[in-house]
Structures are given as C-alpha cells and as structure tokens.
C-alpha cells in the first residue's frame, strides 16, 4: 500500500486486501492451530526459516492484519498485537533488557506502567530511573548509565496530561545509542505519530481510543525500523548474538533492523509469556480503527468546549488541557498535536478530596469508571483509585494532585455534557 496515503484512508484500507471472492471485512480466524502437509514444512516454521502460521499464541492472521494496519498508521515497518497495553509496555522494554540492565522513564506515565517499572521489573533486576518530562537536557543526560538500554515516555501522560517533548527525549536516547519507546495511547496515530519526531518504538493500549467503545482489551507494539541495533552489539546481545532457543538465529542478521525487534518479541516473549490478543478482540479493535479519525476529532472538540466551560467556573480551582491557551503544555501541543490532543481533561474542585467525591457522585451522564477514552463520558479520582499505591511525593512527580479529577469526554452532545457538569457544580 502506498506510503503517501492519509491516515483516514489507512484506517479503512491498510493491513488487509482481500483477493477475488474473499471476505471484504477481516475474517476472524478463530483457530488455535493450522494444518500442514509435511513435517518438514512445519519444522521450517519452528526454526524461523519460513514464515507462516502454526499456533495462535505466536501468530494469527486476524491479529497480523490489524497489526499491519497499525504499523502503516504509525509509519513503522512491523507491529504486533498483545493482550493488553500492559503486556505491550512490558514486552517493549523487556525485549531489550535483562537482569542487571537499566532504563530511563518519564515520571509522568500511566499508573500501571509506573508500577511495572518501579516494582515488578525491579524484582527482575532491571532498574528504572524516573525523570521529570520537563527536565533540562542536562538533567536528562545525568540519568544515563553505561548499562542504560532504552528511554520510555508517554506522548500525553495519563492522567497528568503532560505532553512529552519527544524530540528532546529522542535526541538524548540516540546520543547514548539507545532507542526511545513512546506510549502513544492517548494521542493515537491520528493526532501524533511519534516516529516522525524520532521515536524508535511505539506502544499502545488499544483498549482506549483505538477500540473506542470499551469493548476489547488489547495492546500493540510498532517498530519504526529505524534503530540500528547491530551498531551496538554489546548493548543489545539478544538481538545481535545467536538465540540458542532458535538454533542460533541472529535476529538483526536474519530480519534486518526493520524486523528484528518485533520478530524477537514474537518468537521469544510471546512464546514464553503468551500475552497474545484473541482474534475476536483484534476484530473488534479493527472496527474501532475504521472510525478512529472521525471519533478523535469529536472527542477533541467536546473536550475543548468542556475545558473552556470548566475554566470559567468559580468552583473549579484549576483545569489542565493542552488545548487551553494558558495551559503549561499549549506550546508543546501546538508542535506535536496540532490536530488536537485527546478527550481527557483533568481539573480540581475547590474543597479538595471531599468536594471531588461529592461532585463526581452528582454527575448523571458521566459515570465513575476506571476506564478512559471511549465513547461514553466518564470520570475518575486517580489519587483514590488508579494511583493509590503512590505516596504523595510520587503522586507529585506523576503530576497527580490529591484533588485531581480526570474527565474523559465521550462522543455525546457537548451541550448535554456541559449541562450535567453545571447541575453537579450547582449542588456543591
Ligand atoms: C490504559 C493504559 C495502559 C495499559 O493498558 P491496558 O490495556 O489497560 O493494559 C498503558 N498506557 C496508557 C497510557 C494507558 O492509558
């Protein structure tokens, strides 16, 4: 498919082209396994000498079609789906780190990613240094160590809504010969394509806007194909030296820089951890992608109107939305997110924790939910729920104050949503 096609077209057409008489929509290949006529053919698949399907834990045609569409949308060379965004985050880092290694992450990231990096991966002997995304180049520079293997950040941090200066992070990573991994969940490839700004690997929780209907959990990893692993064989032995579990295949030699990362993550991590996405979920995810550009525009339009409404309210102490002219991230958003950021706003209600709870309970259209970024408007108090494992200092670094309410603006009529917020404010 032509590289010059616009995202709206790729969302519909990329990844799957039926041949004469074949189904127009991506078929759900609901099969764990695939039949072969000779044992020798199957053996070649096992040795990665031929490509083909043999077991859905490793690869499935439905999932591959959706992954190929996401690769086209992000401008990458190869992609894979995972069972969840958490699995995508974990695989993206663990694919190039081992016990004794170190990596750097923006401190303003999703709570689940923070926990994964600061607690669970630490138990595996992989250490993470968190840096403020707004840090100076010198501060970022100081976080690198000889054993640093990658840098991680989020385009728009959930829930802090801080916009990552992707170029600053990419340049620092590349100066040290390591890749930048960017979680692009909130922006989606419609509003930002991190690879164009220097990111090497992009991850997603497709459970959010990409599915968009709160129907299917999923994740994705997309490789830009730009990072030259073979230039740093000592740093990335897993990609540049023989893999004993595949008869000595060297991923960079066999699959090049365009395919080494995803092939290794599929062949080793998916084989051993099994966090694959079900073909059913991939099908639902794809339905979401088809309407993604239309929905993102509406999410952003509603969020902009609601942010402006909230900003003008006496009972609201602060509003954070990068579409507001006086927002701290307005300039960065103009650069990286010129079409709009996302539908998520955060704000504080005067009166702190208690007022926040009372306000949320008074809302009738916006439901209290853990989820964000789907068709239905919902809200959450992160300090009391998703981020409750963090102490006050960690909350501050993640950009989550105790009074923060996260409002995910859905696709309803904006006037109805504003009327709902107004009646809840009147009750305070
Ligand atoms: C939700 C989320 C994740 C985790 O995704 P799951 O699909 O829930 O596992 C990761 N990153 C961001 C930015 C998210 O919002």
pLDDT for 42 equals 87
Query: Which residues, other chains included, contact 22 with Cβ-Cβ below 8 Å and sequence gap of 6+?
Result: none
159 in ligand 1 pocket by Cβ < 6 Å? no
Tally of CB atoms within 10 A around 416: 11
CA of 60 to the centre of ligand 1 (A): 23
Closest ligand 1 atom to residue 373 Cα is: 15
pLDDT for 383 equals 78
CA of 380 to the centre of ligand 1 (A): 15
110 in ligand 1 pocket by Cβ < 6 Å? yes
CA of 116 to the centre of ligand 1 (A): 12
Containing H/E element for 122?
helix 121-123
Rounded to an integer, what distance in angstroms lies between the CA atom of residue 324 and that of residue 307? 7
Tally of CB atoms within 10 A around 264: 24
185 in ligand 1 pocket by Cβ < 6 Å? yes
CA of 241 to the centre of ligand 1 (A): 32
206 in ligand 1 pocket by Cβ < 6 Å? no
Tally of CB atoms within 10 A around 98: 13
Share of the chain above pLDDT 70, in %: 99
pLDDT for 2 equals 58
Which of 105, 201, 207, 276 has most ligand 1 atoms within 8 Å of CB, for mutation? 207
Containing H/E element for 180?
strand 180-183
351 in ligand 1 pocket by Cβ < 6 Å? no
Sign of CA dihedral 381, 386, 391, 392: negative
Closest ligand 1 atom to residue 86 Cα is: 9
Query: Which residues, other chains included, contact 353 with Cβ-Cβ below 8 Å and sequence gap of 6+?
Result: 381, 383, 384, 402, 403
Task: Please write the tens of the pLDDT for every residue from 191-202.
Answer: 999 999 999 999
By alpha-carbon position, which residue is closest to atom 4 of ligand 1? 85
Task: Please write the tens of the pLDDT for every residue from 218-273.
Answer: 999 999 999 999 999 999 999 999 999 888 999 999 999 999 999 999 999 999 99
Q: How far is CA 387 from CA 33, 115, 319, 349, in A?
A: 40, 9, 19, 18
pTM for this predicted structure = 0.96
Rounded to an integer, what distance in angstroms lies between the CA atom of residue 67 and that of residue 263? 13
Treating both helix axes as pointing N-terminal to C-terminal, what angle do 414-426 and 352-362 enclose, rounded to 10 degrees?
Answer: 130
62 in ligand 1 pocket by Cβ < 6 Å? no
- Of 110, 125, 236, the closest CA to residue 182 belongs to 110
- Of 301, 336, 300, 298, the closest CA to residue 193 belongs to 336
106 in ligand 1 pocket by Cβ < 6 Å? no
Q: Are 224 and 202 in contact, with CB atoms under 8 Å apart?
A: yes
- For the chain, residues classed under CATH 3.90.1150.10 are 294-426
Rounded to an integer, what distance in angstroms lies between the CA atom of residue 184 and that of residue 189? 7
294-426 in CATH: which number?
3.90.1150.10
Beta strands 127-131 and 78-82, pairing class: unpaired
Task: Please write the tens of the pLDDT for every residue from 334-393.
Answer: 999 999 999 999 999 998 778 888 999 999 999 998 889 999 999 998 877 877 777 778
Rounded to an integer, what distance in angstroms lies between the CA atom of residue 417 and that of residue 338? 25
165 in ligand 1 pocket by Cβ < 6 Å? no
- For the chain, residues classed under CATH 3.40.640.10 are 17-287
17-287 in CATH: which number?
3.40.640.10
Which of 208, 217, 341, 399 has most ligand 1 atoms within 8 Å of CB, for mutation? 208
- Bridge partners (DSSP) of residue 205 are 219
How many CA atoms does the CB half-sphere of 343 hold within 13 Å?
32
CA of 261 to the centre of ligand 1 (A): 21
188 in ligand 1 pocket by Cβ < 6 Å? no
Q: Are 199 and 154 in contact, with CB atoms under 8 Å apart?
A: no
Higher-pLDDT residue of 292 and 4 is: 292
Task: Please write the tens of the pLDDT for every residue from 165-175.
Answer: 999 999 999 99
pLDDT for 3 equals 63
CA of 113 to the centre of ligand 1 (A): 8
Average pLDDT over residues 96-125: 96
Rounded to an integer, what distance in angstroms lies between the CA atom of residue 204 and that of residue 89? 8
């Amino acid at each position: 498919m032509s590289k010059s096609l616009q995202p709206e077209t790729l969302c519909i057409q990329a990844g799957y082209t039926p041949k004469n008489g074949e189904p127009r929509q991506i078929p759900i290949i609901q099969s764990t396994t695939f039949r072969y006529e000779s044992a020798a053919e199957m053996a070649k698949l096992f040795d990665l000498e031929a490509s083909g399907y043999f077991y859905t834990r490793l690869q499935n045609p439905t999932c591959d079609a959706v992954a190929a569409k996401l690769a086209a949308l992000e401008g990458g060379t190869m992609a894979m789906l995972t069972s969840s965004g958490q699995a995508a985050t974990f695989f993206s880092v663990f694919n190039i780190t081992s016990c004794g290694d170190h990596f750097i992450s923006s401190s303003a990231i999703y709570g689940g990613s923070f926990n994964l990096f600061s607690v669970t991966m630490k138990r595996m002997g992989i250490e993470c240094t968190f840096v403020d995304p707004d840090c100076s180049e010198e501060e970022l520079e100081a976080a690198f160590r000889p054993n640093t293997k990658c840098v991680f950040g989020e385009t728009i941090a959930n829930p802090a809504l801080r916009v990552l200066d992707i170029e600053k992070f990419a340049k620092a990573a590349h100066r040290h010969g390591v890749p930048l991994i960017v979680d692009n969940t909130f922006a989606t490839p419609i509003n930002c394509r991190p690879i164009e700004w220097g990111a090497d690997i992009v991850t997603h929780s497709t459970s959010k806007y990409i599915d968009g209907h709160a129907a299917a959990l999923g994740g994705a990893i997309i490789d830009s194909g730009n990072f030259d692993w073979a230039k740093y064989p000592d740093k990335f032995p897993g990609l540049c030296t023989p893999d004993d579990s595949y008869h000595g295949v060297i991923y960079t030699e066999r699959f090049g820089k365009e395919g080494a990362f995803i092939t290794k993550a599929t062949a080793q991590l998916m084989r051993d951890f099994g966090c694959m996405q079900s073909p059913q979920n991939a099908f639902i995810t794809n339905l979401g992608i088809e309407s993604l550009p239309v929905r993102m525009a509406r999410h952003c339009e509603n969020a902009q109107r609601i942010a402006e409404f909230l900003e003008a309210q006496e009972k609201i102490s602060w509003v954070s939305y990068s579409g507001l002219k006086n927002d701290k991230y307005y300039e960065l958003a103009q650069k990286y997110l010129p079409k709009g950021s996302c539908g998520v706003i955060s704000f504080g209600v005067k009166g702190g924790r208690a007022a926040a709870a009372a306000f949320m309970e008074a809302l009738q259209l916006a439901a209290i939910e853990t989820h964000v970024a789907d068709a239905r408007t919902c809200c959450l108090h992160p300090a009391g729920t998703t981020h409750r494992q963090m102490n006050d200092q960690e909350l501050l670094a993640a950009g989550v104050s105790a009074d923060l309410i996260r409002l995910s603006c859905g696709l309803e009529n904006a006037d109805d949503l504003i009327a709902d917020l107004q009646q809840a404010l009147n009750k305070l």
